[in-house]
Amino acid sequence: MANPAQTDDVDEQTVTPWTVRGGEKGIDYSKLIETFGSQPIDAPLLERIEKATGQKPHRFLRRGIFFSHRDLQLVLDNYEARKSFYLYTGRGPSSEAMHLGHLIPFVFTRHLQEVFDVPLVVQLTDDEKFLWKDLSLEEVHRLAYENAKDIIACGFDVKKTFIFSDLDYMAQRPEFYQNILKVRKCVTFNQVRGIFGLTDSDSIGKIAFPAVQAVPSFSNTFPDIFGKKKDVLCLIPCAIDQDPYFRMTRDVAPRLGYMKPALLHSTFFPALQGSQSKMSASDPNTSIFLTDSPQAIKKKINKYAFSGGKDTVEDHRKYGGDTSIDVPYQYLTFFMDDDKRLAEIKEAYEKGEMLTGELKQILIQVLQELVAEHQRRRAEVTDEMIREFMTPRKLNFSS
């Protein structure tokens, strides 16, 4: 079987939780759907989502940012039959510096929580970052709490949301470790090597970790929320690079008498330099951070954002800009909700009526507002709120 995780061919794209490398034109997402064996989110499915929820699908769905899924139909069947499901997403706390791209799954998950009125569990994999990075246990645990503030600032409903650090929760509820053990018993080293591209020289910590990310997909991992129920369906919004974990999870679930989690996959948020290059926490100029000042945002976009505009104003007026490679335009597709305004901008830019500087100015304003608003909400997060979100407890939701 072709194994995307193990190819060394430079022309081939590689997408694993640790390596994301596209071909010359960036990531080919239709090809990913093929190699991963997931389903595209197409027009009929969008229509069904609109019908089920009674509202226009989120812009991330309308614009193909969440582009692929597994078993979303089943989630909608459940919802329409008034059977509850729950949401699960997560973050690896490797740094305090969260950037715009990190917000995508949380912005979307918050929207889903509101629309469907369902509980949410958020896993902070401090254990994962301890294993993969040169960080102490104390440090990854501290980072989990720092990142929790940014997540809470996204506006989750505390009555319906449980955020947990793996290090904490492992010591709080035996059900977590019990499920981890059950998964570990079903998965061989061979499988983990194949799915994740791990090798003989990786630590046994890394080899054993995937089970930890798998089990929040099973409702009985959270007895405070679901009691002993093991059949509450789980829906996981995540970036597509996390899919290997959940392919493994879906593979073992039936053998344990559990439900396979459903998934919604997003594309990657492009680096300022363009979708072929990678955002890097160690190079602050590759992305906009949630801590950036208005001046920093302005400077980064003006100086570093890759433009699809032409080299001279004359050429630009004559030939227009290319929105398919223009980073400021692409960022707007993520953060400008108004379809009509976005379409007008696209048209004006492609016709050469709008210049790169003008497009960048629009984006600067959108992002300055968004980041300032995030900073405002983050500053309001108190220790007491963090404690509440992160305490295992009963949540409030219908059925």
> Whole-number minimum distance, CB 16 to ligand TRP, in Å?
11
CA distances, 3 to each of 6, 194, 196, 220 (Å): 6, 7, 10, 32
Q: Which is nearer to ligand TRP, 215 or 362 (CB)?
A: 215
Interface positions, 319-378, toward ligand TRP (CB under 6 A): none
Q: Is the Cβ of residue 106 or residue 349 nearer to ligand TRP in the bound state?
A: 106
User: Which distant-in-sequence residues (6+ apart) come within 8 Å of 168 by Cβ?
Assistant: 141, 390
Cβ atoms of 36 and 240 within 8 Å: the answer is yes
Looking at the Cβ atoms of 88 and 306, the one nearer to ligand TRP is 88
Helices (H), the chain: 29-36, 43-53, 59-62, 72-80, 100-116, 126-132, 137-152, 166-172, 174-186, 189-196, 204-208, 210-214, 223-226, 243-252, 294-304, 313-319, 327-335, 339-350, 356-379, 383-389
Give the side-chain half-sphere CA count within 13 A for 239.
20
Q: Is 26 within 8 Å of 275 (Cβ atoms)?
A: yes
| Cβ contacts of 132 within 8 Å, gap of 6 or more | 18, 92, 94, 206
Q: What is the smallest separation between the CB atom of 263 and ligand TRP, expressed in angstroms?
A: 9
DSSP 186-199: H--HHHHHHHH---
Within residues 197-226, the interface with ligand TRP by CB under 6 A covers 213
Least Cβ distance, residue 6 to ligand TRP (angstroms): 20
Task: Compute the least distance from the CB of residue 246 to ligand TRP, in Å.
Answer: 8
Total residues binding ligand TRP (CB under 6 A): 13
Write down the least CB distance from residue 90 to ligand TRP, Å: 3
The binder of ligand TRP chosen from 236, 252, 253, 271 (CB under 6 A): 236
Binding mask 164-203 for ligand TRP (x = CB under 6 A): ----------------------------------------
- The minimum distance between CB 12 and ligand TRP, in angstroms, equals 23
* Residue closer to ligand TRP (CB basis): 214 or 305: 214
> What's the min distance (Å) between Cβ of 236 and ligand TRP?
5
Q: At its nearest, how many Å lie between ligand TRP and the CB of residue 398?
A: 24
Cβ distance to ligand TRP smaller for residue 238 or 370: 238
Label each residue of 29-63 as H, E or C: HHHHHHHHCCEECCHHHHHHHHHHHCCCCCHHHHC
* Nearer of residues 137 and 343 to ligand TRP, judged by Cβ: 137
Sites for ligand TRP among residues 35-94 (CB under 6 A) = 88-92
> Segment 4-23, which members bind ligand TRP (CB under 6 A)?
17
Instruction: Considering the complex, state which of residue 235 and residue 362 has its C-beta at the smaller distance from ligand TRP.
Output: 235
Interaction of residue 248 with ligand TRP, rule CB under 6 A: no
Name the minimum Å distance from CB 30 to ligand TRP.
22
In contact, 135 and 129? CB cutoff 8 Å: yes
Residue number, 89 or 179, with CB nearest to ligand TRP: 89
Which residue in 238, 271, 301, 355 binds ligand TRP (CB under 6 A)?
238
Q: Are strands 85-91 and 233-239 parallel, antiparallel or unpaired?
A: parallel
Q: How many CA atoms lie within 13 A of 108 on its CB side?
A: 32
Classify residue 159 by its DSSP letter: G
Using CA atoms, how far apart are residues 13 and 8, in angstroms rounded to an integer?
9
Between the two ends of the chain, the Cα-to-Cα distance in Å is 43
The residue (of 216 and 270) whose beta carbon lies closer to ligand TRP is 216
Both tokens of 72, joined, read 């979303």
CA distance 158 to 149: 13
Binding mask 118-137 for ligand TRP (x = CB under 6 A): -----x-x--x---------
Taking the complex as a whole, the smallest distance from the CB of residue 256 to ligand TRP amounts, in Å, to 18
**Contact range with ligand TRP by CB under 6 A, out of 58-66, 109-117, 236-244, 288-296:** 236-244
Buried b or exposed e, range 280-300, using 16+ CB within 10 angstroms: eeeebebbbbbbbeeebbbeb
Site of interaction with ligand TRP (CB under 6 A): 17, 88-92, 123, 125, 128, 213, 236, 238, 242
